[in-house]
Amino acid sequence: MKARAHPLDPVVLIGGAGLTSAVLAEIDRGLKSHELIKVRVPCADRTKREVIFAEICSRTGAHPVQHIGKVLVLFRENPEPPPGAREESLRKKGRGR
């Protein structure tokens, strides 16, 4: 998972307001779309980032992958592929239109 996450850019930035319901909703959307995401937490205190990481995981059902610097890496398997993913997969294999 760490290797797969390496080239990814953070999809969510937690701002000065902290871990709000809007931020959690955006993290949830990112996990539904990508399964593996990065979240940037610019606060300087590592302990506070660890608490935020644990709270995100408990509230979204995600698994912690890595906490490196100010970036958190999360994974949550999406049992249902996003709309259009099956068609895109078939197109890549030459079976679609």
| Confidence at residue 44, expressed as pLDDT on a 0 to 100 scale | 76
What confidence tens digit (pLDDT) does each residue in 9-59 have?
A: 999 999 989 999 999 999 999 999 999 999 999 987 899 999 999 999 999
With bands split at pLDDT 50, 70 and 90, how would you rate the model's confidence at 87? Answer: low
Rounded mean pLDDT of 58-85?
88
Q: What is the DSSP string of the chain?
A: -HHHHTTPPPSEE--TT-S-HHHHHHHHHHHHHHSEEEEE---S-HHHHHHHHHHHHHHHT-EEEEEETTEEEEE---SSPPTTHHHHHHHHTT---
Average of per-residue pLDDT across 72-85: 79
pTM of the model: 0.79
Which of 5, 4, 62 lies closest to 38, judged by CA? 5
Query: How many whole angstroms separate alpha carbon 73 and alpha carbon 93?
Result: 30
Q: Which domains does the chain have, with CATH numbers?
A: 2-92 (3.30.110.60)
Look-up of token digits 């996450």? 5
